[in-house]
Amino acid sequence: MLGGDVVAVWEVALSDGVYRIEFAHGTTTGKRIVFVNGKEVIRKDWMFKLVGKETFMVGGANTKATINIEAVSGFAYEYSLNIAGKSLQKFIDNRAKTTKTWLLKVGGEDYRVVLEKDTMDVWCNGQKMETMGEFVDDGTETHFIVGGHECCIKAASGGQKKSGIVHYLLLDGERVAASTQ
């Protein structure tokens, strides 16, 4: 589909989905093409400068992404991706602290549920969910519906200072294991 010029591929997990970013770089013509989930978002067919940056937006929240193109030696290039001003690894590490993700199968359908801990917003398959929050004896509960089934994200103290607040998802009352994406 993209030809032989694809030099780098990254997967970026945002609240509204996982995005595949592909970068094609013609090192003889200077051509630069950026694809997000297979859709072309930038095309520059002829560039005299083979190094530099390409900036574009990713996801429903228009998160800023920048591909850095650097010469390593001779005709070898190194490509790195920054998301929201951070290296991809720092962005992933930060998201691990600020979000929690669960992958569910409900009625044969796959769902990806993401909790943004700072706002308590809940996303499911790219859509921000209508939720109802309530305080309970041991913390809070955030209720919403996925595929006609009741879901509840419980936030409770982990019991120790270091563990802070622990979030877990119940689907029809059954606990669902968290995902790493």
Same domain, yes or no, for 104 and 80? Answer: no
Same domain, yes or no, for 166 and 101? Answer: yes
160 or 77: whose pLDDT is higher? 77
Maximum distance among all alpha carbons in the chain?
Answer: 65
Side chain identity, residue 105: K
Q: Which pLDDT belongs to residue 1?
A: 42
> Across residues 13-37, what is the average pLDDT?
93
Q: State the CB neighbour count (10 A cutoff) for residue 25.
A: 21
Q: Which pLDDT belongs to residue 163?
A: 66
> Of 16, 49, 84, which residue sits at a domain end?
84
Q: State the CB neighbour count (10 A cutoff) for residue 10.
A: 16
> Across residues 149-153, what is the average pLDDT?
96
Specify if 54 maps to a domain: yes
> Of 51, 84, 117, which residue sits at a domain end?
84
Same domain, yes or no, for 70 and 107? Answer: no
Identify the three-state secondary structure at position 125.
Answer: coil
Please classify residue 124 by burial: count the beta carbons closer than 10 Å to its beta carbon, then call 0-12 exposed, 13-18 middle and 19+ buried. buried
Which CATH number characterizes residue 107's domain? 2.40.128.180
Whether 4 shows a pLDDT value over 90: the answer reads no
Specify if 127 maps to a domain: yes
Same domain, yes or no, for 108 and 169? Answer: yes
Domains held by the chain: number: 2
Whether 156 shows a pLDDT value over 70: the answer reads yes
133 lies in which domain range?
Answer: 97-179
> Of 84, 107, 122, which residue sits at a domain end?
84
Whether 118 shows a pLDDT value over 50: the answer reads yes
